Amino acid sequence: MIELDNVGYSYGGGELLSDVSVRLAPGSFHFLTGPSGSGKTTLMKLCYGALLPTSGTVRAFDADMRTRDRDEMAMMRRRIGVVHQDCRFLDHLPLADNIALPLMVSGHDMGQENANLRELMNWVGLSDRADALPPELSGGERQRAALARALIMSPDVVLADEPTGNVDWEMSQRLLQLLLELNRMGKAVLIASHDLGLIRAAKAHVQARVLRISNRQLHLAGADL
């Protein structure tokens, strides 16, 4: 569904990524690792078109990112759910409205979507927090809300950038189980994480490929993970 072919990306006159090739096929599960500043978030942004490569090709759903106009890019992004590292919300809106925001922006009839919204909030364990404002949420609740918002458009691909970075081990396992369940539904999942414990826990349940960015390039990590 998303394919990077010999992709490079330069920033500020320096090369951050070089000759990166990877394919996110339907039902695949990948982890992306590497030290801070190695380019994990940049690679994520290349996958959903927030950045365009300085060399090579990024294709999503059989079309080159460079050939898409603004409307086509917006339609493509509806098929990709992104869990951002910083989990930003609109603090003046209740949680349910924050999660439903992508639906509202894309013009969906919220009267018809309310049942799906309630089901999704129940699935991530936030039904009783629907009216809470974002500043009232715990770190774990914010992470689950970010996941719910990424899923509200029923995407084919889920990209999660350090989704367990600000939560304890118990909550990270809960978030992992949600992502594993999505993968069992046929979604392609890519998780950027430096948490080796999380990666090992996932590999006990799914055939996950672990990719590591090192020296600007992408490598398949060793079997010891």
Q: What is the mean pLDDT of residues 131-147?
A: 91
Our measurement of the distance from residue 41's CA atom to the centroid of its chain's CA atoms, rounded to an integer in Å, reads 10
Phi, psi of 79 (to 5 degrees): -95, 0
- Asked whether the beta carbons of 164 and 176 are under 8 A apart, the reply is yes
Could you give the CA distance from residue 39 to residue 22 in angstroms, rounded to a whole number? 14
Tell the CATH topology of 1-79+155-225.
Rossmann fold (3.40.50)
Where do the domains of the chain lie?
1-79+155-225, 92-154
Among 155, 151, 136, 153, residue whose Cα is nearest residue 95: 136
pTM to 2 decimal places: 0.89
- What integer pLDDT is reported at residue 98 of this predicted model? 94
Render pLDDT for 162-181 as a digit per residue (tens, 0 to 9). 888 777 888 888 888 888 98
Could you give the CA distance from residue 68 to residue 57 in angstroms, rounded to a whole number? 13
pLDDT of 223 > 80? The answer is no
Render pLDDT for 71-118 as a digit per residue (tens, 0 to 9). 888 889 889 999 987 888 999 999 999 999 888 887 777 677 788 888
Which residues share a beta bridge with 19?
Answer: none
- Please give the share of the chain, as a percent, with pLDDT higher than 90: 46
Render pLDDT for 5-49 as a digit per residue (tens, 0 to 9). 999 999 877 889 999 999 999 999 999 998 888 889 999 999 999
pLDDT of 146 > 60? The answer is yes
- What integer pLDDT is reported at residue 222 of this predicted model? 59
pLDDT band at 224 (very low <50, low <70, confident <90, very high): very low
- What integer pLDDT is reported at residue 133 of this predicted model? 96
